[in-house]
Amino acid sequence: MNRKTRCTSRRSGDADNPRILGAFNEKTPDWLSFFMFTYFTDRDGKYQLASLAESGFDPLARTCRFMLTEAAHHMFVGESGVGRVIQRTCEVMNQLKTDDPAKSLSLIHI
């Protein structure tokens, strides 16, 4: 199989053909894991892209500025999702009259 075919045939989660960046091979078994992944992975990427957006090579700089918008959206998804999980945890803790978040997490479908 030639390089072009290999690059275009990659699929996330394929154990026989994993993604080049290891972070994208990690399992996200629940919504909380997904929200944390989108927030922290794109937060890291944001700093890398911001640095590349200052490049003197204009096509790279323009592409990175577009990708920064995309990263900001992913960070919003992660941050708002974590916020919803925390909000719901607090609501269930109040219903159960407990200060132990572990007791309420089992009742939240994440």
Its sign, for the CA torsion 52, 55, 60, 65, is positive
Which pLDDT value is given to residue 83? 93
The average pLDDT across 30-34 equals 86
| pLDDT band at 107; cut points 50, 70, 90 | low
User: For the CA atoms of 37, 38, 40, 44, what is the dihedral angle to 10 degrees?
Assistant: 120
Q: Are 81 and 34 in contact (CB under 8 A)?
A: yes
Global pTM reads 0.65
| pLDDT band at 9; cut points 50, 70, 90 | low
pLDDT greater than 60 at residue 71: yes
The average pLDDT across 54-75 equals 88
